[in-house]
Amino acid sequence: MPDLLLELFSEEIPARMQRKAADDLKRLVTDGLVEAGLTYASAGAFATPRRLVLTVEDLTEASPTTTEERRGPKVGAPDKALEGFLRGAGVAREDLEEREDKKGTFYYARITTEGRPAAAIIADLVPQVIRNFPWPKSMRWGSGSLRWVRPLHSILCLLNREDGAEVVGFEVDGIPSGNTTEGHRFMAPGRFSVTSFEDYSAKLKGAFVVLSAEDRAEAIWHDATTMAFAAGLEVVPDKGLLAEVAGLVEWPVVLMGEIGADFLDLPAEVLQTSMREHQKFFSVRNPATGRIERFITVANRDTADQGATIIAGNAKVLSARLADAKFFWDNDLRVARDGMGDWRESLKSVTFERRLGSQSERVERIAALAREIAPMVRADPTAAETAARIAKADLSSEMVFEFPELQGIMGKYYAIEAGLDAEIAAVAEEHYAPLGPTDEVPTAPLSVAVALADKMDLLTGFWAIDEKPTGSKDPFALRRAALGVIRIVLDGSKRISLGPLLAGQVAFNYGASQFGDFQSAYRMLAASADNSGRDFVASDIWDKYLEQAGDVETDIVMEAKKVVPEISQNLLSFFHDRLKVHLRAENIRHDVIDAALAKPPTDDLTLIVARARALQAFLDTPEGENLIQGFKRAANILTQAEEKDGVEYRYGADVKFAETEEERALFKALEAANAAIAPALKAEDFAAAMSHMAHLRGPIDAFFEAVQVNAENDIIRRNRLNLLHQITETCGAVADLTRLEG
Amino acid sequence: MADLTTPRSFQEIILRLQAYWAEKGCAIMQPYDMEVGAGTFHPATTLRSLGTRPWSAAYVQPSRRPTDGRYGDSPNRWQHYYQFQVIIKPSPPDLQEIYLGSLKAIGIDMDLHDIRFVEDDWESPTLGAWGLGWEVWCDGMEVSQFTYFQQVGGHDCHPVSGELTYGLERLAMYVLDCDDGNEMPFNDPDADIPLTYGDVFREAEAQYARWNFDVADTDILLQHFKDAEAECARILEQPADDLKTGRHIIMALPAYDQAIKASHVFNLLDARGVISVTERQAYIGRVRTLTKMCADAFVQTDAGGAASP
């Protein structure tokens, strides 16, 4: 059976697109082959900067011939109907068969689809794949209309069998398929022909092209680490860079060079970022000191001087780059040592969001909130406010303008240079965390306060102007911010009531978006509102604002009074949704969280999670599962009776009306359970509370076994229904079990 | 003609590039006589990349980026610098090879250096233009921009132009092995009167840096911007039929001069620090509106490929 070899040879394909393009080529061609009725044993795809390659092994020679029978119109139907059928089936009138069944006599056509040779199928399929290829960005060139990632130059398409290879002939926008390709652009110019994949990969290697990206990456990493090790140094691992560099070369040659002595004192992050972003160099560090001392670059060729010219050139370019970095660093240090005032001033002219004002105003809002959060996380309020004020100062620095990814990291260096305490300086870097789901959360109290304030201000701000995430769109990374708040709060089980904090900050941000000058008005009012904190903001501030501002538009204020609580509640629900997603990883069911959320307070994440964990753990035991059944039975009977009678059975269950032993035992068990549960709840030991509930399982089961709730005697019946209510009350102490599904 | 000897001066690199591209059939044009931020602004590139008429040109374009001024003290940054620009429409299939030939022509030995084409998509918000291509790296240094224009002035390019831009100072410093651009020989170092790049430009750099950053009258500049904007629109509002000559004359080029002017005034205002981040986008949008109007007009002209009425 033949093997297929396909190569699409073009000008340089962006490194970041190569892997997916190879996968897409494999998927689209093999799917197309299978759809056309061919089968194959295996397939592989490869990419280099100048080519996408697909090899398919043991392809069937042809698709099978198939026949299909199709029923047509009734015999005697109008000619038009018959003609239509003949056209659709592609058969002639005399080929039709007449057959009778219960419904009458019908025409039948047998449609035979001849099998097609693999070559014909490929010749149809490949041009389609090329024309519809899912490049993230594609272009036209010259006078043509074909779109490809960069100009496509040649197509190699072969079917080879033991007796030789045939070119699968087709043409795409003037480019004919053939059996030739090129090797390395500089080391082996000129075209050559190939006969099979083995022949192709061997000849490519001879022409200085390593076909597999994995092989190139492996060779680069091996040579780089060996070279660094020989010099007593180590390469800073960087998988993303390795993959990118492997996509920039067909013939990787690893070279190591020196970093100019003038630059060795720049922060390691600056050296690494500059080298990686601008030059795609690996950093080589001294394992003893952690200092970056050399660079590794990957060239695309061997040279007669063993790369000496290339290293010298790269070192020179790096020096120019680092001279820029050093220039920024030196300038920044001047501003930093001067207290960073210039930067904080210039944040005033940087717009954060049109409706939410400048970065400087946002920093003020964060500082006020951080101050308020501080005592809840054992941080000093004044230090938290100071830290928040400087945490974003580096956004105005030259270094961060040049390398945005160094935000926070530079802030820490500069804060230290400004003479601030190490704890306050660390906030600049740590308040952005956690950035990803695996990123560590900050633990230092000051960083926690500012990190929470930063994220909560972001969320309340965009909620206030109604820019919430929708579907896959979340341009301001609000989901990430909410998850960050959740993870920080849950880390170490912090006790924070989010509700008032959110409401206050929503008021703040809503005010900013509506009045512009709300911030100063707020501070004035808050100062005079003796310690009533955020609750004050959410409740009375609007009336006070009206009193003080006088001629401000009453309509807007009335609207604010109405919408701020709604917006805050909506945001809290968003937190609940994110909490469910977050707890999915712990195998806590969403309905378990709903059950926990039905118990106030709903804005204390640690408490919600404690309830949910206790309930989930309980549900995972046989006792738990059984007790839930008993609870549901009690709740159902009770609900039905209440609906039927139009009254609520709540109070007055009395053991003196109990008729059976089982009833009396249940009264007793409930009493005992309640006595044990109350202190557990008080101690917020929900697991203990649930385990006391578990003791009810036996008495409840026995009760239902022995007792008919809807007794003839109305007093006894009412007493039993009231008893059922006691069961639901006691079992619902930790979470609302009626929310559980199934 | 490829001369593998290393050039000895800045001007020799320019001369060799001109000779090379002349040999490849380009019309060697002269710089556009207005202040522009980059060689792309020359109407020989922006406007000529529109429409169906084949085009092939190369030229040096003095360019100004006021914010890059360093008073002549930086070894590699100037507010006035040179770009060498090549534009060929439709882009020939072997444009990469022809381009590599130009590097050989200025003395870069392909056997010793590492040349790479690294993804770099080009976009000019003020020109309403974008294209795909690469930065060309020589031993890790960007020596050129290589772009296939896809859209200019809001118009799809059919056929597509291939555009090359060489940053001449940086390239020359590399080829001539100079660490300080100001020390780079401008003319033949053995000439009777040898001149360095700094001899030619250092004084001007200091004067312009001071004017750009601190002295330029922003009220006047803001007025210039408005004037250019208004004049551009007014020119294009004129009926195409000229009453005096009885001819059909669409004045896309004079209008485009006003767009160039507005763009440069915007750059000056930016250097004076009077444009906020939000205003910035608005200004760029206003210049783009002008270039788009000019492009719309140009494609209705004969040179822009419209059939003569």
ipTM value of the model? Answer: 0.94
Rounded to whole angstroms, the Cα distance separating B103 from B84 reads 13
Q: What pLDDT, on the 0 to 100 scale, is given for residue A543?
A: 66
**Local confidence band at A536 (pLDDT 50, 70, 90 cut-offs):** very low
The alpha carbon of A653 is separated from its chain's Cα centroid by a whole number of angstroms, namely 53
Q: Is A320 on the interface with B (CB under 8 A)?
A: yes
Residue A106 has which token pair? Answer: 């019908």
Chain A closest-CA separation from residue B112 CA (Å): 5
| A503, pLDDT greater than 90 | no
Q: What pLDDT, on the 0 to 100 scale, is given for residue A531?
A: 46
Size of interface A-B (CB pairs under 8 A): 106
First to last CA, chain A: 55
Residue A132's CB is within 10 A of a number of other CB atoms, namely 9
| A525, pLDDT greater than 60 | no
| A295, pLDDT greater than 80 | yes
Pick the closest to residue A628 from A718, A706, A725, A739 (CA basis). A739
Rounded to whole angstroms, the Cα distance separating A545 from B117 reads 62
A139 and B116 within 8 Å at the Cβ level: the answer is: no
Strand partners, A335: none
Q: A407-432, pLDDT tens digit by residue?
A: 999 999 999 999 999 999 999 999 99
**Local confidence band at A709 (pLDDT 50, 70, 90 cut-offs):** confident
Residue A300 has which token pair? Answer: 């695309």
| A60, pLDDT greater than 80 | yes
Is there a contact between A19 and A213 (Cβ–Cβ < 8 Å)?
Answer: yes
Q: What pLDDT, on the 0 to 100 scale, is given for residue B1?
A: 40
Q: What pLDDT, on the 0 to 100 scale, is given for residue A551?
A: 59
Taken in order B14, B16, B22, B26, the sign of the CA dihedral is negative
Is there a contact between A442 and A488 (Cβ–Cβ < 8 Å)?
Answer: yes
A313, A349, A351: residue with CB nearest B141: A313
Contact residues, A window 27-66, toward B, CB-based 8 Å cutoff:
49
Residue to substitute from A17, A51, A139, A311, interface B, most B β-carbons within 10 A: A139
Q: What pLDDT, on the 0 to 100 scale, is given for residue A528?
A: 45
| A530, pLDDT greater than 50 | no
| A537, pLDDT greater than 50 | no
Q: A352-385, pLDDT tens digit by residue?
A: 887 888 888 899 889 989 999 999 999 999 999 9
Q: What pLDDT, on the 0 to 100 scale, is given for residue A586?
A: 87
**Local confidence band at A122 (pLDDT 50, 70, 90 cut-offs):** very high
Q: What pLDDT, on the 0 to 100 scale, is given for residue A529?
A: 46
Contact residues, A window 219-248, toward B, CB-based 8 Å cutoff:
248
Rounded to whole angstroms, the Cα distance separating A187 from A189 reads 6
Q: A135-192, pLDDT tens digit by residue?
A: 999 999 999 999 999 999 999 999 999 889 999 999 999 999 999 999 999 999 999 9
Tell whether pTM > 0.90.
no
pLDDT tens for chain B, residues 1 to 309: 444 688 999 999 999 999 999 999 999 999 999 999 999 999 999 999 999 999 999 999 999 999 889 899 988 889 999 999 999 999 999 999 999 999 999 999 999 999 999 999 999 999 999 999 999 999 999 999 999 999 999 999 999 999 999 999 999 999 999 989 999 999 999 999 999 999 999 999 999 999 999 899 999 999 999 999 999 999 999 999 999 999 999 999 999 999 999 999 999 998 887 887 667 888 999 999 999 999 999 999 999 988 644
| A327, pLDDT greater than 80 | yes
Q: What pLDDT, on the 0 to 100 scale, is given for residue B119?
A: 95
Rounded to whole angstroms, the Cα distance separating A252 from A236 reads 19
% of chain A exceeding 70 in pLDDT:
94
Q: What pLDDT, on the 0 to 100 scale, is given for residue B282?
A: 87
B111, B132, B278: residue with CB nearest A304: B111
A141 and B162 within 8 Å at the Cβ level: the answer is: yes
| Residues on B contacting A at a C-beta cutoff of 8 Å | 75-76, 90-93, 96, 110-119, 121, 131-134, 138-141, 148, 150, 157-160, 162, 174, 179, 276-278
Residues 6+ apart with CB under 8 A from A137: A149, B121, B132
Mean pLDDT over each residue of chain A, to the nearest integer: 90
Chain A closest-CA separation from residue B293 CA (Å): 24
- Please compute, for residue A371, the number of CA atoms within 13 A of its CA located in the half-sphere on the CB side: 15
Chain B positions in Cβ-Cβ contact with residue A142 (cut-off 8 Å): 90-93, 159-160
Q: Is A310 on the interface with B (CB under 8 A)?
A: yes
Classify burial at B233, counting beta carbons within 10 Å of its beta carbon; exposed 0-12, middle 13-18, buried 19 or more. Answer: middle
A140, A317, A350: residue with CB nearest B277: A350
Average pLDDT over residues A271-282: 93
Rounded to whole angstroms, the Cα distance separating A659 from A711 reads 11
Q: What pLDDT, on the 0 to 100 scale, is given for residue A90?
A: 84
Instruction: Output A152 or A716, whichever has higher pLDDT.
Output: A152
Going across the sheet that includes A104-113, the strands are A66-74, A104-113, A97-101
Asked which of A52-56, A325-329, A419-423, B130-134 is least confident by mean pLDDT, the reply is A325-329
B277 and A351 within 8 Å at the Cβ level: the answer is: yes
DSSP states along A659-725: -SHHHHHHHHHHHHHHHHHHHHHHTT-HHHHHHHHHTTHHHHHHHHHH--SS-SSHHHHHHHHHHHH
Residue owning tokens 């609750």: A535
B92, B118, B132: residue with CB nearest A150: B132
| A587, pLDDT greater than 60 | yes
| A16, pLDDT greater than 50 | yes
Q: Is A12 on the interface with B (CB under 8 A)?
A: yes
Residues 6+ apart with CB under 8 A from A628: A619, A737, A740
Chain B closest-CA separation from residue A313 CA (Å): 5
B93, B114, B159: residue with CB nearest A301: B114
Rounded to whole angstroms, the Cα distance separating B142 from B120 reads 11
Chain A closest-CA separation from residue B171 CA (Å): 11
Average pLDDT over residues A509-528: 64
Q: How far is CA A602 from CA A17, A100, A319, in A?
A: 46, 72, 57
| A518, pLDDT greater than 70 | no
Q: What pLDDT, on the 0 to 100 scale, is given for residue A415?
A: 96
**Local confidence band at A666 (pLDDT 50, 70, 90 cut-offs):** very high
